[in-house]
Amino acid sequence: MKRAVTAFVATVVGLFWVLTFKVTPHQAAGVAAASPPPSASGGQPVSASPTPTSSTAPASTPSPTPVKKGADGTFTGTDVPTIYGDVQVRIVVSGGRLSDVKALQLPSDRARSAEISQYAGPALRSEAIQAQSANVDIVSGATYTSEAYAESLNGALQQAHLG
């Protein structure tokens, strides 16, 4: 009888927890964005580099492969709202490379949000410049800020034709 009561209580508590669990739209978008798109061919990507068909072809100097170059200038990412405040970044592109990232907005409405933003902002900036993309690691304790930072950064990189 004691086991039955314990099992019943555990089931009710577990069911209550599952039914009251809420996912914010920002979390759901992050999960969808983390999934890679399916391949059109359904298999491995095929190499596009040509292979020589004749060994008697004259040797030529290989031309350098073109480097993806974006437009130089300053670009502002989208304003991304989080439950703790908005996040928005501005990037500077020079020589076709991401040279600087400035956070225009980071959560600062609460003392704890401001404290988190003080250490997360510089870490995310450094990570973005090093990666040269919006593929930045999430800063521990600043998950929402990190995800929103990456989203705003991605918008700015797309404007600069780097993303």
pLDDT tens per residue across span 22-34: 655 555 544 444 4
CATH of domain 73-159: 3.90.1010.20
d(CA 82, CA 155): 16
pTM metric for this prediction: 0.58
pLDDT above 80 for 5: yes
- Tell me what pLDDT residue 128 has: 94
Tokens 């300053």, residue?
74
- Is 132 a residue whose pLDDT tops 80? yes
DSSP one-letter code for 40: S
Q: Decide if pLDDT at 3 tops 80.
A: yes
Q: Is 107 exposed, middle or buried (0-12, 13-18, 19+ CB in 10 A)?
A: buried
| Distance (Å, whole) CA 27 – CA 33 | 10
Whether pLDDT at 48 is above 50: no
As a whole number of angstroms, the distance between CA 155 and CA 149 comes to 10
Q: Do 112 and 85 meet the contact criterion of CB atoms below 8 Å apart?
A: no
In whole angstroms, give the CA distance from residue 9 to residue 79.
45
